[in-house]
Amino acid sequence: MKAKKIFFYISISLSFSLYVNANSDFSDDDTLEQVEVITELERYKATNKLKSDVNLSLLGQQTAFTAPISVVNYNQQAIEQTEARNIVDAIAKMDASVMNFGGETNTLSGIYVRGLQLDARQFSVNGLAGLHSSYNSPLSAVASAQLIKGASTATVGMDPEGSSGASVNIQTKRATDTPINILGMRWYSQDRTQPYFDFGRRFGNNNQWGIRISGLYRDGDTTREQFSERNKEIAIGADYQGDKLRAAIDYMYTKRATKGGRARIQDIQDLDFALATAPDGAINLIPHWSGQTTEDQTVMATFEYDLPHQMILSGGIGHMASKYYGAFGQIRMTDPQTYNIQSMRAMDYKINTTSANLKLHGDFNTHSISHNWNIGWDSVIRTRDFKQSPVIDYKKVTTFRNINIYHPILPSAPTYKALIQSTDEKVQAHSVAFADTVGLFEDVLRLTLGGRYQWIKQTDYQSNIHANSHRFSPMITLAYQPTSDLIWYANYLEDLEPGAVDEDGVMSKPLVSKQIELGVRKNWGEQYTTTFSLYQLSRPGTITSKAANNYPRKAGEQQGKERNRGIEFNLYANLLNGHLRPNLGISYNKGELIDYANYAGQIINGVQVASPRIIAKAGIEWDTPFIQGLTLNSAIQYYGSSYQDYAKKYKFPSYTTVDIGAKYTFKLQQQQFTVKLGVENLFNKNYWQVQRGRYDRSFAVLGMPRTYWANVEFSF
């Protein structure tokens, strides 16, 4: 069956490639080079290959180097060079202010930025909020991934579930003027293969029509015992690039089925002992029959139209239908080396998201002052239909209890009861926004004033409760750019999250996260670029139902806050005439809880759990002089220690992982071949990948063991 599916995908790829070759006119002198997509982070001259343009929605189209906020734009080449199997792992490998959760080790995906969580279902696609994936983070459609660090609701709008601390926007692939013909095969230990393809063509007298088709099929066993996956992705993008009108339609489908995944240790903050030293990463703490399937199907249309008087009208609409089904349980420690598998249940989740926006952009001058203005409307509607079975009573099943973390004997599959409705609701987020960037002294000084007025509506069909709330979020940014190679910037931004709804249908006011940031970026000639930023980001806490029993307050009311103060520094270099490309990133984040309501119902003061103070990442690429076409690379990730409880009684230890790789590119009969080899977690480090939940809950997933991979790619 596996061989048949691989053959099916390759057959589709070859059929398309034969068609486009039959309808294309190539001369013998044509260079069939791999598509040059730009790499690494924020710029700039030091990298000599950059993804400089970023779409900042309310701030308009800008370059990452001159933007008045912290933004990085990872392009296709940068993402592919990590050899990550999903976008959250790829971003986390490259950025020192990012820590991932899920990804390879879980069926829930997202990242932590500046100490706060952002789920993959909150990612935008082509500026349309919430259309990436509900529980996965696929790669096939991704041309670039734009990460805005810090509060961003006023800038890009609000997902129905809110956001705090960051936003991610995915730009989908488009056909280029140079034909794209790529076939490849990846292999990952223990036994996973991944055939993939990527084709693109432009048509018409002026190449105004384009189509891009890419996909992959990954199937097999991972390096963890009894942990396997089957992953399918396909992305189709058609676009029109006219003199005034630019329009596109995208279709994306992804399905990932895992068995033996989601082995997460739950609520470690409640333990009265330290979590044991991490076992061998090849050990699975959850049985193979505990599996989940995530499935997303998305279609969207976007456009831009040039109007008179230097104005541009743009917008889009899209819909994503998502499913998440299977079974999962919670791992709970009973002593440092023993755990139970609790709350085991079957589930069937369905999520539908519809997203739309409309924006008008223009610019004009009043004497010596320039104005760059934007107005916009955004709307996101999400329905949740969750069904799940009653939990298995682990106390009645001996094999679900007293499992040794170093030598687990895992139970056989239970019989689940019928699914029952647990959630049936609709959440809506609608907003209007405006901003004007005023440029003084020939745009040396730029001041942006604006904001977003947000409406939030929630309907619970089970309890027949309807609730709504609203708020205005201001935005202020300032940029001073005395030269083309130096910029100072500052901003005040806010993020919004929906408030809780009580039994009377009253929604509490939205949670408002507030950020203040100062930063500087500098190009040091043609060889070095540095970035430096200081920030403070505070997020309100809320009373839990447990805390409401102890205090004369309603659940959902705001109580206290968590505050993150930090420093971020990055260095990028381009040495030896561009043949040596090192980079370094360091972040320091101090997360504190102030009169904060935790999950246990206590009002506490202390530290954020599972939140490392220091994260450092470094990488290097070297084009060897002794073999033309051979590039060697290595990457190091360091995550500092953190705490499993707010009172700092017990620590999660720090850990370091090292990846190495090599790429060899050569031509054979005018066709380009690329061969890549690599090792992830070179020294087979055993570690806990820590995670932090709402109400200051701490979790941990066992890090993956050493993984070998190989990739052969054919470009023609």
CA distances from 272 to 257, 403, 574 (A): 36, 19, 50
pLDDT at 387 over 60: yes
**Lowest model confidence (mean pLDDT) among 155-164, 413-422, 450-459, 465-474:** 155-164
**Among 12-21, 113-122, 229-238, 404-413, which stretch is predicted with the lowest mean pLDDT?**
12-21
pLDDT digits (tens, 9 = 90+) for 449-470: 999 999 999 999 998 988 898 9
Single-letter amino acid code for the residue at 417: K
**Among candidate residues 591, 598, 496, the one with its CA nearest the CA of residue 542:** 598
Which pLDDT tens digit goes with each residue over 674-703? 999 999 999 999 999 999 988 889 999 999
> pLDDT digit string (tens) for 226-276?
999 999 999 999 999 999 999 999 999 999 999 998 889 999 999 999 999
Token match 């999903």: residue?
A: 86
**pLDDT(3) > 50:** no
Q: Which long-range contacts (CB under 8 A, 24 or more apart) does 556-561 make?
A: 556/499, 556/500, 556/501, 556/502, 556/508, 557/500, 557/508, 558/508, 558/509, 558/511, 559/595, 559/596, 559/597, 559/603, 560/593, 560/594, 560/595, 560/596, 560/597, 560/603, 561/593, 561/594, 561/595, 561/596
- The angle at the Cα of 279, spanning 274 to 281, to the nearest 5 degrees, equals 130
Q: Which of 419-423, 440-444, 581-585, 691-695 has the lowest mean pLDDT?
A: 691-695
Phi, psi of 57 (to 5 degrees): 55, -100
What are residue 278's phi and psi, to 5 degrees?
-60, 135
- Please count the other Cβ atoms lying within 10 Å of the Cβ belonging to residue 113: 28
DSSP result, 472-525: EEEEEEEEEEEETTEEEEEEEEEEEEPPPB-TTSPBPPPEEEEEEEEEEEEEET
Residue 338 pLDDT > 60: yes
- Whole-number pLDDT of residue 365: 93
> What pLDDT shows up at residue 553?
65
Indicate if the pLDDT at residue 44 is higher than 60.
Answer: no
- Alpha carbon distance 620, 94 (integer Å): 11
Q: Give the residue-averaged pLDDT of 31-52.
A: 37
Expressed as residue numbers, the domain containing 582 is 2-715
| CA dist., res. 506 & res. 686, Å (int) | 48
CA distance 545 to 312: 48
Q: Looking at residue 547, what is its pLDDT?
A: 58
In sign, the C-alpha dihedral spanning 86, 222, 344, 387 is: positive
Residue 37 has pLDDT above 70, yes or no: no
C-alpha to C-alpha distance for 545 and 555, rounded to whole angstroms: 5
SS3 649: coil
Checking if the pLDDT of 30 tops 90, the result is no
Calculate what percentage of the chain has a pLDDT beyond 70: 91
What pLDDT does 499 receive? 80
Which residue, among 328, 344, 333, has the nearest Cα to 404 in the 3D structure? Answer: 333
Q: Residue 584: which residues within 8 A CB-CB, separation 6 or more?
A: 570, 571, 616, 617, 618
Residue 251, number of CB atoms within 10 A of its CB: 16
Cβ-Cβ contacts under 8 Å for 334 (sequence gap 6 or more)? 340, 402
pLDDT at res. 273:
97
Distance CA 419, CA 422 (A): 9
Residue 34 has pLDDT above 60, yes or no: no
Residue 165's SS3 state is coil
Minimum mean pLDDT range among 54-68, 161-175, 415-429, 478-492: 54-68
pLDDT, position 549: 57
Higher pLDDT, 298 or 12: 298
CB atoms within 10 A of CB 420: 9
The 10 Å Cβ neighbour count of residue 533 is 22
The DSSP secondary-structure symbol of 452 reads E
Whether a cis peptide bond, with omega within 30° of 0, leads into 190 is yes
pLDDT, position 1 = 44
369 CB neighbour count, 10 Å cutoff: 12
Question: Taking residues 170-198, what's their average pLDDT?
Answer: 97
**Residue 118 and residue 91: Cα distance in Å, rounded?**
13
**What is the reported pLDDT for 548?**
54
In this predicted structure, the answer to whether residue 32 has a pLDDT above a threshold of 60 is: no
Instruction: Tell me the average pLDDT across 180-192.
Output: 97
> Would you state the pLDDT for residue 429?
93
Cα–Cα separations (whole angstroms), residue 266 to 116, 335, 624:
18, 13, 47
**Per the structure block, which two tokens stand in for 210?**
């384009």
Q: β-pairing, 166-172 with 124-125?
A: parallel
Average pLDDT, the chain: 89
pLDDT of residue 51: 52
Per-residue pLDDT tens over the stretch 55-85: 787 787 788 889 999 998 888 888 988 899 9
Who wins on pLDDT, 19 or 192? 192
Task: Please list, residue by residue across 77-102, b when 16 or more beta carbons sit within 10 angstroms of its beta carbon and e when fewer do.
Answer: bbbbbbbbbbbbbbbbbbbbbbbbbb
- Predicted confidence at residue 9, as pLDDT, reads 41
Q: What is the pLDDT of residues 575-610, one digit of tens each?
A: 999 999 999 999 999 999 999 998 888 899 999 999
Predicted pLDDT of residue 152: 82
Torsion of CA 402, 404, 407, 411, to 10 degrees: 30
Any idea which of 52-66, 157-171, 287-301 has the lowest mean pLDDT?
A: 52-66
pLDDT for residue 21 is more than 90: no
* pLDDT for res 493: 93
CA angle, residues 194, 298, 173, in degrees to nearest 5:
60
Contact 41, 94 (CB under 8 A): yes
CATH code of 117's domain: 2.40.170.20
Give pLDDT, residue 52.
63
pLDDT bin (cut points 50, 70, 90) of residue 546 is: low
Predicted confidence at residue 247, as pLDDT, reads: 98
Instruction: Identify whether the C-beta of residue 417 lies closer than 8 Å to the C-beta of residue 391.
Output: no
Q: What is the domain count for the chain?
A: 1
Q: Give the pLDDT score at 20.
A: 38
**Percent of the chain whose pLDDT exceeds 90:** 74
**Confidence (pLDDT) at 108:** 78
State mean pLDDT over 310-320.
96
Q: pLDDT tens across 510-545, in order?
A: 889 999 999 999 999 989 999 999 999 999 998 876
Which region among 138-147, 289-298, 461-470, 621-630 has the lowest average model confidence (pLDDT)? Answer: 461-470
CA 70 – CA 585 distance, rounded (Å)? 14
